[in-house]
Amino acid sequence: MKQVHEVHFITELFGKYDGSSLQSYLEAGGFKPLQQLLAGGSEKILKEIDESGLQGRGGAAYPTGRKLRQFLSEKAPRKFVVCNADEGEPGTFKDRELLRRNIYQVIEGMIITAVCTQAGEGIIYVREEYTNIHDHIEQAIESCYQHNYLGKNILGSGFSFELRLFSGAGSYVCGEGFAMCESMEGKSGRPRTKPPYVKQAGFLNLPTLVINTETLSAIVSIIRHGAHEFRKYGTAESPGTKLISVSGKVERPGVYEIPFGLTINEIVNGLAGGMKNGKKGNFVQIGGASGGILPARLWDTKYTYEDFSRAGMSVGSGAIVVADTETKLLDYLKVVQDFFNHESCGKCTPCREGNRQLRIIFDKIAAGTATAEDFYRMEIVLDVMGSTSLCGSGKTEVVPFNTAIKYFPEEFAVFAEFEKRAVI
Amino acid sequence: MSKELELLTDQVCAGYGYDPVNLLPILQEIQQRSEGNYISEEAARIIARKLNITESRVYDVVTYFSALSAVPRGDVIVQICNSTTCSICDNRELVTWFEDELGVKVGETTPDNKFTLIYTHCIGACDIAPAVRINHDVYGGLTREKVRELVASYRAKEAVK
Ligand SMILES: Cc1cc2nc3c(=O)[nH]c(=O)nc-3n(C[C@H](O)[C@H](O)[C@H](O)COP(=O)(O)O)c2cc1C
Ligand code: SF4
């Protein structure tokens, strides 16, 4: 296997400055991209983002340039930019590192986004689980206010932008745009039906742009170095770099910035130092609890949007959870199912009732009483959930189960075994 | 008690302009400052009145979010992650260590009302799995001995209060 290295495009400033000091951020070249924008106008910046081919890093992979332009065309007296730092997908902790080690770049990304889309108010929506870094974020916001990077008439540009932190309260579904708006309005975080979309009628029914922490950070680096530098990494369909969170049974779990196109093998056995204690790889789950299960025999699959799509999964949140052969696939899927059972907001029937059915089936599997009929029922439930659920949660929850059935059919043969045993 | 609660609620709600849009931070702050680390039925009633919203809305929100509680809890909340990575990294040992040290099972509160031991979903500390969150701080790479020391240090902190 060829030697693989991390790259440092988005994470360029990690460790290069005292992450809590605005002054040292400025000395490291911080806020130059904003100056570029204020001097050259937003059209140039939007073009750069278009050309970079940057896709949203929150999971849906929507082209960021197009997203910003659509939001720019929404006209209203008040418009909001919301940084999605809810990071709720199990196995994901890369936004945590961006907030901890380079919060000023996240804030700069928000200001640039706000100026380019003519939004006057911003919110950083941070998950409650990260309460231990809330102060750090609020201090950075405060420093930016003191030096007029935030507030009225930023650096004499005539543009004003107000920014604050909002703490979630422990709910996975609140990472979804509408659910997030609902929770910020003091309601339980349940998604609304579309249309209208969040960009048209989100927080307080006003135009709202929900954008991921890493996407915002990437925007700043792209302006700093140019779209062509970004495109030197990755593939034609997956340009640039991506932050991944590698965890589980590897020697060196952690956050790595990679060019798109490395293989899972290169990530697991190269960057992450190989399987822990030399054990045998079993599978990885890609992109969070709602991500696909990829068996070790397919770890030469490339980490790109297009290769994953062919394998029936997606990049998702950038999580890679690595399991060795000590983890039984069906036990793992039960943990995944428990998660959704707990987090399903209950608003729509397919997801709420589907999860109840899945739970019954997985309990039967654990008790050794599942039958072939339960397996067929599971397939029907998954089909209905995936195609008719209201929000992305119910729609994507089926991916781990479907990919597990596809790649590990032998694991599901136990259903038939159980049945045989029951008959005897 | 009731008067104190009325005062606390009013103070917090006033800080947020009595605007129900701010229900989440209001509940988080009142819970944090309340005996028992929860939103009692009485508190919910007062909050609803102050913000001019229904009690059922307050109750809906309190029971929806995992960081809010409608039942009393210990001052120190010990949350053991049981999500994907932590389950792969065998969090069961960690559970027994904390159960032994605290003398309660997961889901219970110690008789002195100091500690509540519960499971949590992913807390974004998968790089140090199996992970545990104690109030706002997160720990990983624990051993039996470290769990003993950790619990002792929180006990000592609680004793000072
Ligand atoms: C159930 C659910 C949970 C989500 N959680 C997150 C999250 O934690 N962080 C995030 O950035 N996006 C999350 N998303 C995606 C967001 O809805 C949204 O697409 C994203 O923040 C847009 O930002 P982007 O364009 O930068 O990707 C979630 C979506 C769903 C349906
Ligand atoms: S799919 Fe699940 S989480 Fe989404 S709205 Fe329906 S019940 Fe709620």
Contacts of A342 in chain B (CB under 8 A): 121
Cβ–Cβ < 8 Å for A323, A404 = no
pLDDT at A332: 98
Cβ–Cβ < 8 Å for A322, A294 = no
Cβ–Cβ < 8 Å for A313, A287 = yes
Query: How many other C-beta atoms are found inside a 10 Å radius of the C-beta of residue A115?
Result: 21
CA neighbours within 13 Å on the CB side: how many for B107? Answer: 0
pLDDT at A420: 61
Write down the H helix ranges in A171-225.
Answer: 177-184, 198-201, 213-225
pLDDT at B1: 57
pLDDT at A2: 66
A189–B65 C-beta distance less than 8 A? yes
| Percentage of chain A modeled with pLDDT above 90 | 94
Distance from CA of A349 to the nearest CA of B (A): 17
Q: Give me B11's structure tokens.
A: 């103070």
Cβ–Cβ < 8 Å for A200, A214 = no
Q: Which domains does chain A have, with CATH numbers?
A: 22-230 (3.40.50.11540), 241-324 (3.10.20.600), 329-420 (1.20.1440.230)
Paired residues of A167 in beta bridges? A126
Cβ–Cβ < 8 Å for A65, A46 = yes
Closest of A287, A237, A211 to residue A53, by C-alpha: A237
pLDDT tens for the 424 residues of chain A, in order: 667 889 999 999 999 999 999 999 999 999 999 999 999 999 999 999 999 999 999 999 999 999 999 999 999 999 999 999 999 999 999 999 999 999 999 999 999 999 999 999 999 999 999 999 999 999 999 999 999 999 999 999 999 999 999 999 999 999 999 999 999 999 999 999 999 999 999 999 999 999 999 999 999 999 999 999 999 999 999 999 999 999 999 999 999 999 999 999 999 999 999 999 999 999 999 999 999 999 999 999 999 999 999 999 999 999 999 999 999 999 999 999 999 999 999 999 999 999 999 999 999 999 988 888 999 999 999 999 999 999 999 999 999 999 999 999 999 887 766 556 554 4
Query: Cα dihedral sign for B10, B13, B17, B21?
Result: negative
pLDDT tens for the 161 residues of chain B, in order: 589 999 999 999 999 999 999 999 999 999 999 999 999 999 999 999 999 999 999 999 999 999 999 999 999 999 999 999 999 999 999 999 999 999 999 999 999 999 999 999 999 999 999 999 999 999 999 999 999 999 999 999 988 87
A90–B85 C-beta distance less than 8 A? yes
pLDDT, chain A, mean: 96
pLDDT at A424: 42
Q: Considering CB atoms only, which of B57, B67, B85 is closest to A91?
A: B85
Cβ–Cβ < 8 Å for A340, A289 = yes
pTM above 0.80, yes or no: yes
pLDDT at B29: 98
Label each residue of A341-390 as H, E or C.
Answer: HHHCCCCCHHHHHHHHHHHHHHHHHHHCCCCHHHHHHHHHHHHHHHHHCC
User: Is the CB–ligand 1 distance for residue A87 below 6 Å?
Assistant: yes
Most B CBs within 10 A among A125, A128, A136, hence the mutation to make, goes to: A128
Q: Give me B117's structure tokens.
A: 């031991």
Paired residues of A293 in beta bridges? A285
CA-nearest residue for atom 20, ligand 1, is A58
- Cα separations in angstroms, A142 against A22, A104, A146, A165, A276: 10, 11, 6, 11, 43
- Give the Cα-Cα-Cα angle A53, A59, A64 (nearest 5 degrees): 30
What spacing in Å lies between the alpha carbon of A179 and ligand 2's midpoint? 10
Contacts of A186 in chain B (CB under 8 A): 20-24, 26, 61
Paired residues of A245 in beta bridges? A255, A319
For the CA of A214, the closest atom of ligand 1 is 26
The H or E element spanning position B120 is strand B115-120
B22–A169 C-beta distance less than 8 A? no
pLDDT, chain B, mean: 96
